[in-house]
Copies of this chain bind each other. A is one copy, B any other.
Amino acid sequence: MRIDVWSDVVCPWCYIGKRRLEKALAGFEHAADVEVVWHSYELDPAAPQEPTERTVDVLARKYGGGVENAQRMMDQVEAVAAEEGLLYRLSQTMRVNTVDAHRVLHLALHEGGSDVQGQLKEALLAANFIEVRNVADHATITELATAVGLDPDRVAAVLAGNEFRDEVYADVAQAQAFGANGVPFFVIEQKYGVSGAQPVEVFANALERAWRESHPALQMVSDSDAEACGPDGCSI
């Protein structure tokens, strides 16, 4: 079974949603047969490559109420993250562009498969929210990508060029086609959508439902057999 997840490396609810999905998977009987693939979603494509502004100041500007109000909003998200064991340091994060992180996540999927990609996704989220590292920085991306087993020269080549940029845009377009207007956005078996960092039970129920439907006993479309031939001969 396959789960496609759209998220951004700098999206606080995405990391929380990731933990809740993982909890649901931990209690799911067929978790070993589930593949999770991460897709790009740029929340802020206009963000600069170099960090020049604190996220808290961006929020203050966007929502008004000053830095105090922005800090209060961040505290609330941090409290929810802490319930999932994630010790965010949101007030220290900077506004940065994530397209390069997404391009290397595509490289990871391409070269190492979804397991390696998942490890890099985790490392990038932890770097941004917990370690407060710059996930737009090429040296940081390279270090994290190399740590999960990617070839440093290959990573450097991707970062130096435009490789996987189309894949990032295609991912965003696909999310929009699915009707997503925010992230995290989860699609199970191309069929069931889960929007946002829903509670663990929502993921658990969706997993059970999708599994049942994708592993059906064959459903016969007619109660009665029609004329046929078998080992003992043909009808009539």
Q: Show the binding face of A for B, using Cβ within 8 Å.
A: 8, 11-14, 16-17, 43-44, 59, 62-63, 73, 76-77, 80, 178-179, 181-185, 187, 190-199, 202, 205-206, 209, 216, 218-222, 225-236
Shortest CB–CB separation between residue A186 and chain B, in angstroms? Answer: 9
Residues of B contacting A16 with CB < 8 Å? Answer: 227
Residues of B contacting A62 with CB < 8 Å? Answer: 232-233
Q: In this complex, what residue of B is CB-closest to A207?
A: B221
Q: Contact at B236–A76, with CB atoms within 8 Å?
A: yes
Q: With A182-B229, A197-B228 as known contacts, state yes or no: A235 contacts B192, CB within 8 Å.
A: no
Q: Contact at B183–A228, with CB atoms within 8 Å?
A: yes
Residues of B contacting A228 with CB < 8 Å? Answer: 13, 17, 182-185, 195-197
Q: Contact at A229–B43, with CB atoms within 8 Å?
A: yes
Within 8 Å by CB of A234, from B13, B181, B185, B216, lies B13
Q: Contact at B236–A77, with CB atoms within 8 Å?
A: yes
Q: Contact at A221–B233, with CB atoms within 8 Å?
A: no
Residues of B contacting A183 with CB < 8 Å? Answer: 228-230
Which of A8, A225, A234 is packed against the most chain B CB atoms within 10 Å? A234
Within 8 Å by CB of A218, from B178, B209, B222, lies B178
Q: Could you tell me the distance between the alpha carbons of A184 and B206 in the complex, rounded to whole angstroms?
A: 36
Shortest CB–CB separation between residue A184 and chain B, in angstroms? Answer: 6
Q: Could you tell me the distance between the alpha carbons of A43 and B228 in the complex, rounded to whole angstroms?
A: 11
Q: Contact at A209–B230, with CB atoms within 8 Å?
A: no
Q: With A221-B206, A221-B209 as known contacts, state yes or no: A195 contacts B226, CB within 8 Å.
A: yes
